[in-house]
Structure 1
Amino acid sequence: MDTFIAVMFSSEQQELYCLDCMGYFLMFMAACAFFALLFENVPYGRHASSKYGFPVNVKFAWFVQELPAFMVPLCLLLWTSSAKTSQLPNRLLIAMYLIHYVQRSLIYPFLIRGGKPTPVVSFALAFVFCVYNGYMQIRYLSHYAEYPTGWVTHPCFITGSALWLVGWLVNVHSDHILRTLRKPGETGYQIPRGGVFEYVSGANFLGEITEWAGFALAGCSVHSTSFAVFTLVVLASRAVAHHRWYINKYEDYPKSRKALIPFVF
């Protein structure tokens, strides 16, 4: 794989420049997505539409679209020089990323109960994003990222790591609550109860946003920051759309529950 990368880039400086450009481009895409999502919901689940192509089985879609976010980094770690993986900050940041996507790609899809098919356009875009982001994050962390001595004791790293852990736990727990709302064979929707859902409609989204915000704070790079910003834009839109859907569907939906930020929004 080192040979393939050497063919793609004339020097390490050129590859690092391209990685930086990928980060800034993702920021740009986040801005575009922000404006686009003011007029259109992300087309998946209860908001899916036939205008975004034929439906793909939800378990198959989640597994295949998320798998590159795990497999691309794994290939980079196993089959490239990965010069910076000997450094503790880099190892911990890579571990944060992989823990999320091991759960998301290898466990979560097979626990889904019911669930509406995913439009093929949404499926394809998610697949491309996972390839793009998986390469950008892990290639930078494994081969280029340099952190000061003692970075793991810096307030940014400690705070970011704590946020990542809290966000990951909220995300996994909230997914469990949503999954157990349905008995085997059921496909309908119900009001989620318990955990962070007592405060917000998008508890699972809040967890994932918090995860990647913590990852960005701990990583302090354009690559991690762009990922956090893109996640915020897309998942905040989903949370708002879900909140409106619940309010319109259920007359007894909790009035005090917010969309994404407890007690605020």
Structure 2
Amino acid sequence: MMWPIFVFPPPASVFIPVMSVFSFVVLSNGGISEVRGKHMPYSKFLNYNSGESPSQIHVSGRRGMQIAYTPAFLAALTSLVFFPRYHDFRYLLVSSALTIHFLKRLLEVQFVHKYSGGMGLPTAVRISLSYLLYTATMIYTQHQTITQGLPEPPIDLKFPGILLFLFGISGNFYHHYLLSTMRSSSSSQSNSKSNDDKDYKIPRGGLFELVVCPHYFFEIIGFVGVSCISQTMYAFSFTVGSAFYLTGRSYATRRWYLSKFKQFPQTVKALIPYLL
């Protein structure tokens, strides 16, 4: 097996292997559910075969995303600001990357994104807890590699990881910006729950000419970058699980566009140009 030359030995903790398997299974199953039509109920898939109760409390799309991202951002920021005593470059890089990742998301929520619908409050809380758990576990795993003095992997991927992270986060932002310029304001502004609503159009520009979800494609690249910076079993298992989930979400999104727009190009793939 070649993976030990890229990954830290697992810390002497049952929690980390269990969380590695848990994260991979939960995220992968989420991707399978998306393909099967059981969607995470937000954005265009709100109340779209989601089984979400119409009687539950709803918030605007913007507020729902703020709830989803803020706890994970605070956890990453806390690890970066209040635990400087470790003085470990890799730990600093992982905490910084996660802080930047969620700060970018929050800034996009406030200043970039246009929203196609609201979000059920339970959905926002569930997403928030998931992000918080995954972020805290990734930081805790990195902490354990330091405190237990585990040997560095023979092949150091920190610097390729930095480049991949920056490339992924830049591409993700660019395509989010393109999406925001393509959605015109909805004519209905009377309902306070939906005053963030926008009309969908067929995305154009950038990699949207080749795939329907290039923002997910670059998000996966960013996660690969964080995994290469971290080089822990948990980080890689989370990234693979996230890739499965985003692949399923991309497939479902392409199917949605095909159902809504007769002129949607059949040559545009879901996630990977020319392949998938």
Matched residue, 1:216: 227
CA contact (8 A) 2:116 2:200 kept: no
How far apart, in 2, do the equivalents of 1:137 and 1:52 lie? 30
Cα gap change, 1:38 to 1:246, in 2 (>3 Å): closer
TM-score normalised per structure 2: 0.79
How far apart, in 1, do the equivalents of 2:260 and 2:74 lie? 39
1:261 corresponds, among 253, 264, 272, to 272
Matched residue, 1:7: none
- The answer to whether residue 243 in structure 2 is matched with residue 232 in structure 1 is yes
How far apart, in 2, do the equivalents of 1:75 and 1:56 lie? 27
CA contact (8 A) 2:176 2:215 kept: yes
Matched residue, 2:42: 44
**Quick check: 88-97 or 163-172, which moved more?**
88-97
**Aligned-pair distance for 1:33?**
2.6
Three-state SS of the structure 2 residue aligned to 1:51 is: coil
- The answer to whether residue 104 in structure 2 is matched with residue 103 in structure 1 is yes
CA contact (8 A) 2:76 2:96 kept: no
How far apart, in 2, do the equivalents of 1:22 and 1:82 lie? 25
1:61 corresponds, among 64, 72, 79, to 64
Which blocks of at least 5 consecutive residues in structure 2 are unaligned?
1-10, 188-197
What is the identity, as a one-letter code, of the residue corresponding to 1:141?
Q
**Aligned-pair distance for 1:217?**
2.7
Matched residue, 2:178: 177
CA contact (8 A) 1:114 1:185 kept: no
How far apart, in 1, do the equivalents of 2:153 and 2:243 lie? 29
Cα gap change, 1:32 to 1:245, in 2 (>3 Å): closer
How far apart, in 2, do the equivalents of 1:124 and 1:223 lie? 23
Three-state SS of the structure 2 residue aligned to 1:263 is: coil
How far apart, in 2, do the equivalents of 1:229 and 1:31 lie? 8
How far apart, in 1, do the equivalents of 2:70 and 2:95 lie? 16
CA contact (8 A) 1:52 1:121 kept: no
How far apart, in 2, do the equivalents of 1:255 and 1:75 lie? 46
How far apart, in 2, do the equivalents of 1:174 and 1:82 lie? 34
Matched residue, 1:243: 254
How far apart, in 1, do the equivalents of 2:35 and 2:207 lie? 25
Three-state SS of the structure 2 residue aligned to 1:259 is: coil
How far apart, in 2, do the equivalents of 1:202 and 1:99 lie? 22
Deviations 1:129-182 (A, max 9, x none): 02201211223334534676798xx56333333222221111100110111112
- The answer to whether residue 131 in structure 2 is matched with residue 130 in structure 1 is yes
Q: Percentage identity across aligned positions?
A: 21
How far apart, in 1, do the equivalents of 2:76 and 2:181 lie? 31
What is the identity, as a one-letter code, of the residue corresponding to 1:67?
T
How far apart, in 2, do the equivalents of 1:149 and 1:230 lie? 24
How far apart, in 2, do the equivalents of 1:78 and 1:30 lie? 29
Matched residue, 1:32: 29
Matched residue, 1:10: none
Which blocks of at least 5 consecutive residues in structure 1 are unaligned?
1-12
2:201 corresponds, among 190, 202, 219, to 190
How far apart, in 1, do the equivalents of 2:116 and 2:31 lie? 26
TM-score normalised per structure 1: 0.82
What is the identity, as a one-letter code, of the residue corresponding to 2:252?
A
How far apart, in 2, do the equivalents of 1:238 and 1:32 lie? 11
Aligned length: 247
**Aligned-pair distance for 1:102?**
0.7
RMSD over equivalenced CA pairs, Å: 2.5
2:73 corresponds, among 63, 70, 75, to 70
How far apart, in 2, do the equivalents of 1:95 and 1:101 lie? 10
Three-state SS of the structure 2 residue aligned to 1:52 is: coil
Three-state SS of the structure 1 residue aligned to 2:265 is: coil
Cα gap change, 1:115 to 1:82, in 2 (>3 Å): same
How far apart, in 2, do the equivalents of 1:52 and 1:207 lie? 29
What is the identity, as a one-letter code, of the residue corresponding to 2:44?
R
How far apart, in 2, do the equivalents of 1:128 and 1:198 lie? 34
CA contact (8 A) 1:160 1:216 kept: yes
Higher helix share: 1
